Amino acid sequence: MDSHTLIFSAHSSSRYSLAALLGAVETDHRLSELITEAPVRITTNKIRASIAKGSTIIAYSVMSTQTNRIYREIRYVREKFGNSVTIVGGGAHASARPLELLESGFDYVVVGEGEKTFPELLWYLMNGMDPIGISGVVGKETEDCPKPRDLEPVDLDAYPPFALGLNIVGPIEVTRGCPYSCKFCCTPFLTGGRVRNRSIEAIVHWLEKAVEKSGFNRTWFLSPNALSYGGRGRTVEPDKLERLLRTVTKIEGLEEVFFGSFPSEVRPEFVTKPILEMMREYIANKTLQIGLQSSSNRVLKLANRHHTVEEGLAAIDIALECGFIPHVDMIFGLPGETKTELRESIDLCYSLAGMGAKTHGHVFMPLPGSAFENEPPGRLDSESRRNLGELSRKKLLTGSWSTQESFAEDLSSRKS
Ligand code: SF4
């Protein structure tokens, strides 16, 4: 029998989704014959060698900031190999713009969460069956493209958080979905606002395996709002949070647990002294990632953020008091922000530095799927750029704000 090979692009922009999806693939017994490779660069030699052995599926998880690179690669693969490969896409941009992916050379697009749909699609392709009709799969013959909110949500406990067999690991996603509707964010579109928590039992199960098989001695958790773990997303559940931290920190061999630090974040109004004091007893991180986003209550309101600047500053004070270095997320150039408000947000970054906090800076990008997708891109003036550059050089500001400014322009120009 011919072999079947999956070549999944392992570009750094999609490493977390790659780990989760390949975890779902490697634990699906129907796919035990599938050869899976995850190269950082998909080379022609790799594709040629795979085609010589049998059928070849190439997969990408597509973020909106990566489309130019990925579409260029797809055009090249199509020119070289025509239809002798099947190309599959998924991820945030794919869910928002499935037809754009098809027009750019993809054969099939997975809309929404991939853990169930992607292995199913692979199984159909390996068996020569038409995958149109699998819930969440879009192809050229699809008449109505689904939206992620129309699809059945994935049960996180039914899938591993990463691919231990392939040694492709990352943070453990403990919570998926968010009940808030910040207009710059595509999480509500991608998850339909439905909050799900991975159970403590499942987290412990996978961590113990990771310690044993991959020599994990530290772990990170991924959540849109880490302090909401265990609930429906709008409240702190102190008992569940403490049980999670107490249980995972008892795992033998696991020396450090990072919680509430990048790539996770916490909403400011969830930060209280008792909660941070409790966390301090268990976690290894010295930083706490706090989403403030603007120094203007007017701009926060326009973005539907549902917290105030004062709540953000109070959270930063509490974090400092409890011995954390606050890393404060700020977005410059949000829709409706005036020049004065932009300057004030940057002034706040200087004040934060004076207090002992740091800023994680972003430039507003009109992301497909977000409520602000049709708003103009965030733009900095030369003085703002100079000030942010100075803060970066002094290591008081991190983040890809500079490249995001050009990504934002690019996203906006492609809409017209
Ligand atoms: S920015 Fe955070 S709080 Fe707001 S919708 Fe997105 S995930 Fe939820």
**Cα(65)–Cα(69) distance, rounded to whole angstroms?**
9
Instruction: Report pLDDT for 414.
Output: 81
Band (pLDDT 50/70/90 cuts) for residue 193 is confident
Averaged over 345-354, what is the pLDDT? 98
CA of 178 relative to ligand 1 center, distance in Å: 6
Q: Do domains 3-150 and 171-413 have the same CATH topology?
A: no
In terms of Cβ atoms closer than 10 Å to its own Cβ (0-12, 13-18, 19+), residue 2 is exposed
Q: Which CATH architecture has domain 171-413?
A: Alpha-Beta Barrel (3.20)
**Cα(344)–Cα(314) distance, rounded to whole angstroms?**
18
CA of 304 relative to ligand 1 center, distance in Å: 10
**Cα(319)–Cα(260) distance, rounded to whole angstroms?**
11
Which of 173, 174, 178 should be mutated for ligand 1, with most atoms under 8 A from CB? 178
Averaged over 112-136, what is the pLDDT? 97
Supply angle C-alpha 63, 46, 90, rounded to 5. 20
Q: Any idea which residue has 């634990």 for tokens? A: 27
- Ligand 1, atom 3, lies closest to the CA of 180
Examine the pLDDT at 72 and tell me if it is beyond 80.
yes
Examine the pLDDT at 406 and tell me if it is beyond 60.
yes
**Cα(350)–Cα(225) distance, rounded to whole angstroms?**
25
Global confidence as pTM = 0.95
Percent helix, percent strand, percent coil in the chain, to nearest 5: 45, 15, 40
> What residue ranges line ligand 1, CB within 6 angstroms?
178, 180-182, 185, 187-188, 224-225, 267
The domain ranges of the chain are: 3-150, 171-413
Q: 98 in helix, strand or coil?
A: helix
CA of 410 relative to ligand 1 center, distance in Å: 23
CA of 362 relative to ligand 1 center, distance in Å: 15
Q: Write the single-letter amino acid at 310.
A: E
Each residue's pLDDT tens digit, 275-314: 999 999 999 999 999 999 999 999 999 999 999 999 999 9
Q: Which CATH architecture has domain 3-150?
A: 3-Layer(aba) Sandwich (3.40)
Instruction: Report pLDDT for 416.
Output: 53
Examine the pLDDT at 153 and tell me if it is beyond 80.
yes
Q: What is the mean pLDDT of the chain?
A: 96
**Cα(307)–Cα(13) distance, rounded to whole angstroms?**
29
